[in-house]
Amino acid sequence: MAVHEHPHRSSGFHLPSLRRNRDASAPASEGVGAHTARDYAFASLRLLTGFVFLWAFLDKTFGLGYATPSGKGWIDGGSPTKGFLGSVAVGPMKSTFHSWAGDPWADRLFMLGLLGIGLALVAGVALRIAAVAGTAMMALMWIAEWPPARHLSDGSPSMSTNPFADYHVIYAVALIVLAAVAAGETLGAGRLWARLPFVRDHNWLR
């Protein structure tokens, strides 16, 4: 973005909201351009994050040969949670995750979460619900991998590279940010969704 200095204005950092309140003599396209670039950046983050969740759902459902081998998808009788939860080797919920691994309710809830969060992000609707559900899912997966541990229960290295900030934390923060900035209004159906009567009456649905 080009920056033009004007001798009659003080230089320095200005928040986007303040930029719109500056002297009316400023070029109108400057504020609009900055705002549009920000919106498209958030929209791009939203779409990419949504694709991550949707792809995980599709791969685990149909066994597309990436994280899930062909022939071992959910529709083939495979369990989306058995491998991951059954292999938890450290952390305070190790035995709990082992008991959940492969249970039909856990499979259905996990897959519904992936699909619902993915569709919400791609469409740009219900981002607040997606943020809450996605943060809860990422928190459980973070506990399952338990980054603070440097060694697994058997004494072998955990291969953790950071005691706190891993990709689950990044995804959770991204979901919260996308909901906070209403990222569904650009390249999404966020504006139309917000105008629906039942959404207007219940802001938590936005």
DSSP 70-96: TT-SGGGT--TTHHHHHT--SSTTHHH
Beta-bridge partners for 184:
none
| Residues near 137 by beta carbon (within 8 Å), at least 6 away in sequence | 110, 113, 117
pTM over the 0.85 mark: no
One-letter identity of residue 2: A
Short-list 47, 34, 55, CA closest to 189: 47
Q: Which tens digits make up the pLDDT trace of 116-134?
A: 999 999 999 999 999 999 9
Which pLDDT value is given to residue 35? 66
Report pLDDT digits (tens) over 79-115.
Answer: 999 999 999 999 999 999 999 999 999 999 999 999 9
Answer for the pair 125, 188: CB distance below 8 angstroms, yes or no: yes
Contact present, 204 and 126 (Cβ < 8 Å):
no
CB 46 within 8 A of CB 188: yes
Report how far residue 185's alpha carbon sits from residue 40's, in angstroms, rounded to the nearest whole number: 10
Tens of pLDDT along 163-200?
999 999 999 999 999 999 999 999 999 999 999 999 99
Predicted pLDDT at 29: 45
Q: What is the mean pLDDT of the chain?
A: 88
How far apart CA 48 and CA 42 sit, in angstroms, is: 10
Asked whether 143 and 91 are in contact (CB, 8 A), the reply is yes
Backbone angles phi, psi at 151, to 5 degrees: -135, 150
